[in-house]
Amino acid sequence: MPTLMPLAIRRVLWLCAIAANVTTLVACSKTDAPQEPLRSVKLHTVVGTDLNLGGEYAAEVRARVESRLGFRVGGKLVQRPAEPGQRVTADQLLALLDAQDYQLAAQAAQAQVSAAQSQRDLAAADFKRFEALKAQNFISGAELERREATLKAADAALNQAKAQAQAQGNQAGYARLTASHAGVITAVEAEVGQVVSAGQSVLRLAHDGPRDAVFAVSESSILAIRPGLSMQATVLSTGQTVQGTVREIAASADPVTRTYAVKLALAPGVGEALPLGVTLNVRAPGVPGPLTSAIKLPTSALRQEGQSTAVWVLDEATMTVNSQAVQLGPVDGNEVVVTSGLRPGQKVVSAGVHVLSPGQKVTVYKADGK
């Protein structure tokens, strides 16, 4: 009997060791992760709707008077001190032509004046002598009349030569292009070395003074705008508000855009301080805004994903959701305009967007519980 106890104890210990190993193996084995719950979501079908901008128009500040400056004669451009954006004063030199030929022509015309003056002086001296001879009855009256006619012809030739000399002098002066008014150079249309013709535009000058806000209006809205209508404009860069009055409406629509140009005269003293080309947002009270096709989503469908905005789009084939980045436009009440990222017909999750994950299966929520 004493020899059997150790054997029995060894068997018990052996069985305990096996049980312990099995327990350890079971404890160390991986358990299956719990499946994500099947969530019920509300969906919003993407459709294109007409967005009314509410009579708001983008306008640009322009000078009321903008001149296209050019030479009154043709020639080769040799200097152009004016540059785009440069502020100039009245009579400031803007461009210069090669005036050598015009100067030579002016010298030739001046020489013609000298010759005509000599002929006139000679005719006057002859007439004076023949007038004395007629007083002594040495010549007939007809001869004196011929000498008088010669003097008159010489006077006319002298006047003609002087006029031609003045014209040639003007031609030489026209080789200088100067600013007609103080203002800003808005464009340069010719370069040094270019041969320009008379009247060809070389520079564009925006005159200092009153400013207009110019914007385009559709055919459906133009009938609601009339001269004298008061409007308010906001400078987009600073938020400054400016009052204005409709000054001019285009008589016909642009052949390409089919819109009408409207000029809004800005309030004196304020408009002049605005730089040319500044963008304004003009609000026209009582004028229907242009309609444009847009996609709207409820704000509850949006979520932040990093630095961008995204929505959950349903894949109806697998009933799973996937993230889609979108670009947003203006907010309209509880809805926001989506400018890109979606297309009509897609289904977007509109509620519970913060508890979903990419690829998660969902079901469609039904209010009646069916």
CATH number at residue 197: 2.40.50.100
| Rounded CA separation 148/151 (Å) | 5
The verdict on 244 and 302 lying in the same domain is no
6 found inside a domain? no
Pairing status of strand 362-364 against strand 39-45: parallel
Beta strands in 134-210 (DSSP E): 176-178, 183-188, 195-196, 201-207
Structural domains of the chain, count: 4
The boundaries of the domain holding residue 75 are 71-97+176-204
Per the domain annotation, does 238 fall within a domain? yes
Task: Let me know whether 75 and 200 are in one domain.
Answer: yes
Please tell me whether residues 184 and 149 are part of one structural domain. Answer: no
309 with 353, same domain: the answer is yes
Per-residue pLDDT of the chain (370 residues; tens, 9 = 90+): 444 455 555 564 555 556 555 455 444 445 555 566 678 888 888 887 765 555 678 899 999 999 999 999 999 999 999 999 999 999 999 999 999 999 999 999 999 999 999 999 999 998 898 888 888 888 888 888 898 899 999 999 999 999 999 999 899 899 999 999 999 999 999 999 999 999 999 999 999 999 999 999 888 888 888 899 999 898 888 888 899 999 999 999 999 888 999 999 998 888 788 888 889 988 876 665 555 567 888 888 898 887 788 999 999 888 899 999 988 876 666 788 888 888 888 999 988 788 888 888 888 887 654 4
If residue 138 lies in a helix (H) or strand (E), which one and from where to where? none
CATH classification at residue 243:
2.40.30.170
Question: Beta-carbon neighbour count of residue 172 at 10 Å?
Answer: 19
Residue with tokens 């084939």: 317
Q: Does residue 23 belong to any structural domain of this protein?
A: no
Both 78 and 187 in a single domain? yes
Q: Is residue 234 part of a domain?
A: yes
Q: How far is CA 252 from the centre of its chain?
A: 21
User: How are beta strands 291-298 and 335-340 bridged, if at all?
Assistant: antiparallel
Task: Tell me if 199 is assigned to some domain.
Answer: yes
